[in-house]
Structure 1
Amino acid sequence: MTRSPTVLVVGGGATGAGVARDLARRGIDVALVDRGGLGSGTSGRSHGLLHSGARYAESDPVGAEECIEENHVIREIAGECVRDTGGLFVELAADDPAYFDAKRAACEDVGIPTTVLDAAAVRERVPDIAPDVERAMAVPDGVVYPSRLVAANAAAVEANGGTVHPHAPLEALTVEDGRVLAATIGGRVDATFEPAFVVNAAGAWAGDVAAMAGVDVEMAPARGAMVAVDHGALGPVLNRCREPEDGDIVLPHADEVVLGTTSVPVDDPDEYERADWERARCVEECAAMLPAVADAEVTRTWWGVRPLYAPDEADTDRRGISRGFFALDHADDGVANLASVVGGKLTTYRRMAEATADLVADHLGVDEPSTTADATLPGADDPDRLDAFADRYDARNPSDANLYDAAR
């Protein structure tokens, strides 16, 4: 069987689903495929933080500004895909107060609202915070439920005339005379697609997809561990206010908190070690902020792989690699109808999608602008409908598995 969508998007995480949604809203015939359930790569194996941008304010002000802008957008369009927790950047006695002051100044420069709380005010917000807390900075962090977010974007694709195909792996690309002529799709689809354009949104696997077309996309994936423990009393997200390190974030998730994370380079995003020391490290370091988690029951543990793009990057643990995103036009590499979108963060998925869709629309001669920042996602105000979408696209993944456990 042969199908001919105008655009084939490979990769059904948040960014790929976002690209397909954006294109479909512009009236472009689009098909979205993923080798597994939607969000089963990086999106559904994250800690689910909705960044305020404060984490990157001093090291990457452009990325931080993108985060705070998209933070506002996601809250507007995604409804029950988001939990508005707020966040605190916590300074403990061992932490450098100059770092705290520099981060707050950088947040102000970028436009991230902050409020400084003294130790007593922090304890009022988080009664079981560490006894050596000095102060904290309140920022508009939140928690995202990736399963709902990805599935709602996929539902928007279908509502605008596109098609969505989970469990439909890309098996091969046929390239002739500098163009992708065909894509062999297996699994539930088992068909050949002949698209006018292909978008590679495969995240940590983007290098593998690009290689099928004879193009180099230099990914530098890094694994990170997340540990969920039984602790239902936490209100805001807690961030350790120090240089990024293992175990410096605690996120409230329903009746659990999620402790994270580590950063360890991997060669293969499918085959990598899940080390016990990473679990222990997350618990030990996060317990410095929230001591009760040291003895709390571990309810689940999972790893994700960050889709870092780093040509010529030698960073040993990959923490220093930019979390910015890149929309790569492979016309520059000799394949005129292929683009890759790499890097980025869950919080900026919609902006990544818009930039990529703009590139595709330009190639196709489509003048319709992006409208995704102003359009509410399907089911945004109905958690039951969102969860039904997650079932439809097999999008229930480790990041928010307890959301469904609690509902049963």
Structure 2
Amino acid sequence: MSDGSTVLVIGGGATGTGIARDLALRGVDVTLVDRGGLASGTSGRSHGLLHSGARYAEADAPGAAECLTENRTLREIAGECVRETGGLFVRLADDDADYFEEKLDACEAVGIETERLDGDAARELVPGLSERVVEAFRVPDGVIYPSRLVAANAADAERHGADVYPHAPVEGIEVAEGDGDEGDEIADGDENGGGVVGVRVGGEVDDTLEPDYVVNATGAWADRIADMAGVEVGMAPSRGVMVSVEHGGLGPVLNRCRDPDDGDIVVPHDGEVVLGTTSVPVSDPDDYETADWEVERSVEECAAMLPAVADAPEVRTWWGVRPLYAPEEAGSDRRGISRGFTLIDHGDEGVPNLFSVVGGKLTTYREMAEVTADRVCERLGVDEPCETAAERLPGADDPAELDVFVERYGGANPTDLDVAGAADD
């Protein structure tokens, strides 16, 4: 192939496709590559929660506010890529009442709309809710169908001139040493700037690309790409299990109102609910053990909120790996690691045309993309505003069109296989 890309984005999850879309809308020449089909990493192996911010309100108010803002944005631009279910935080009789009050107060301080309910009112809202629920409050949570969301972003990027290759693994990165000052421009082959001069891409590309800038948006795999370029990131990935069982009629997302723990969320789909999750550190996001106890514990704990799921037929089970960024992480319990995102400029490591964007959440992918695209455009001298918060995604009003996009880029992934993959049945 002939490579004329200005920017190469590595990683075809929500963040990577969001970056490609953002840059393409600003008129930047961009190529996106992924190794195994779009959304096949963390994005398509999550529980698919559209965060209101309530899960982080008391521990990370700025992060919660980011979730709330992006929640509202996605409701406007994403159409059938999301589902507006609402959410419910429930306190069982043996859960800490002070934590419930702290969570509720923190939500209100952030600006998250809440409605307090007693146990009877909560059970009226959610038939089958446990008799052990003594109180609850409503929040504007929802559901994301990541296969659709990612595919729609990729399709819009292509419509605006981007090249998207879902089956094109990066096999190596060539870096040239420079003798210029840190952060020198290297576009157009500035020999003094140093940095990435070639990226070997296999699969359907099978060529060495020579982009001016490279964005590493590979999530839990960011260290692997960074290693190829001789730089460091510092990921601390953890695995979590999701179990989808047959259960129709659940309205809102259910969240256990307690300190984060295993099995504290139930996410509704059509005729199914997704139960999750666990948090177990892994050293390799491609090669890790899974354990039956994770499935059993997640089902048991979720059944404390919604008893019927304990005996519901299991439809599918999958594990995902969280792209947690913690360069100083030494402990084994990674639940406390921030879910905020970080944009790393590798110029201080001698690679000024390489960025890594790490951390974050599916809900905030668009903001992550905007911040990254802003930095890249600044380097390129592109003075065009971000338009992704206002421009609706293609197919947003047509589920069938969205699912055609999904098939184009590799098919539905476990999180929303029952929705985005329904046309295959």
What are the superposed Cα offsets for residues 130-177 of structure 1, whole Å, 9 maximum, x if unpaired?
111111110000000000000000001001111100110011111002
Residue identity in the other structure for 1:282: S
Mark the runs of 5 or more structure 1 residues left unpaired by the alignment.
Answer: none
Query: Are 1:96 and 2:112 counterparts?
Result: no
How many residue pairs get aligned? The number is 408
Whole-Å separation in 2 of the counterparts to 1:268 and 1:365: 38
Identity of aligned residues (%): 67
Query: Are 1:254 and 2:270 counterparts?
Result: yes
Q: Which residue of 2 aligns with 1:143?
A: 143
Q: Which residue of 1 aligns with 2:118?
A: 118
What are the superposed Cα offsets for residues 357-404 of structure 1, whole Å, 9 maximum, x if unpaired?
111111111111211101100110000000000001114100011114
Q: Which residue of 1 aligns with 2:395?
A: 379
- Residue in structure 2 matching 1:314, options 330, 336, 339: 330
Q: Which residue of 2 aligns with 1:292?
A: 308
Q: Which residue of 1 aligns with 2:375?
A: 359
Maintained 8 Å contact 1:324/1:345 = yes
What are the superposed Cα offsets for residues 6-47 of structure 1, whole Å, 9 maximum, x if unpaired?
000000000000000000011000000000100000000000
Whole-Å separation in 2 of the counterparts to 1:359 and 1:404: 33
Query: Are 1:42 and 2:58 counterparts?
Result: no
Mark the runs of 5 or more structure 2 residues left unpaired by the alignment.
Answer: 178-193
Q: Name the SS for the 1:47 alignment partner.
A: coil
Whole-Å separation in 2 of the counterparts to 1:86 and 1:38: 27
After TM superposition, the score normalised by the length of structure 1 is 0.99
Whole-Å separation in 1 of the counterparts to 2:249 and 2:79: 23
Whole-Å separation in 2 of the counterparts to 1:231 and 1:132: 20
Using the TM superposition, give the Cα deviation of residue 117 of structure 1 relative to its aligned residue in structure 2, in angstroms.
Answer: 0.9
Q: Which residue of 1 aligns with 2:185?
A: none
Q: Which residue of 2 aligns with 1:207?
A: 223
Query: Are 1:245 and 2:261 counterparts?
Result: yes
Whole-Å separation in 2 of the counterparts to 1:406 and 1:5: 36
- Residue in structure 2 matching 1:232, options 240, 244, 248: 248
Q: Which residue of 2 aligns with 1:109?
A: 109
Whole-Å separation in 1 of the counterparts to 2:16 and 2:271: 30
Residue identity in the other structure for 1:70: E
Query: Are 1:403 and 2:414 counterparts?
Result: no
Maintained 8 Å contact 2:4/2:29 = no
Maintained 8 Å contact 1:151/1:395 = no
Using the TM superposition, give the Cα deviation of residue 314 of structure 1 relative to its aligned residue in structure 2, in angstroms.
Answer: 2.3
Q: Name the SS for the 1:259 alignment partner.
A: strand
Q: Name the SS for the 1:3 alignment partner.
A: coil
What are the superposed Cα offsets for residues 296-337 of structure 1, whole Å, 9 maximum, x if unpaired?
111110000000010111232210100000011111221010
Residue identity in the other structure for 1:223: R
Maintained 8 Å contact 2:411/2:421 = no
- Residue in structure 2 matching 1:338, options 343, 348, 354: 354
- Residue in structure 2 matching 1:270, options 286, 289, 296: 286
Q: Name the SS for the 1:235 alignment partner.
A: coil
Whole-Å separation in 1 of the counterparts to 2:295 and 2:352: 45
Q: Name the SS for the 2:416 alignment partner.
A: helix
Q: Which residue of 2 aligns with 1:57?
A: 57
Displaced runs of 4 or more, over 4 A: 404-407
Maintained 8 Å contact 1:32/1:165 = yes
Residue identity in the other structure for 1:48: G
Whole-Å separation in 2 of the counterparts to 1:7 and 1:188: 18
Query: Are 1:74 and 2:90 counterparts?
Result: no
Query: Are 1:163 and 2:163 counterparts?
Result: yes
Maintained 8 Å contact 2:13/2:39 = yes
Q: Name the SS for the 1:310 alignment partner.
A: coil
Whole-Å separation in 2 of the counterparts to 1:297 and 1:250: 15
- Residue in structure 2 matching 1:369, options 385, 407, 414: 385
Q: Name the SS for the 1:354 alignment partner.
A: helix
* RMSD, aligned CA: 0.9
After TM superposition, the score normalised by the length of structure 2 is 0.95
Whole-Å separation in 1 of the counterparts to 2:132 and 2:5: 59
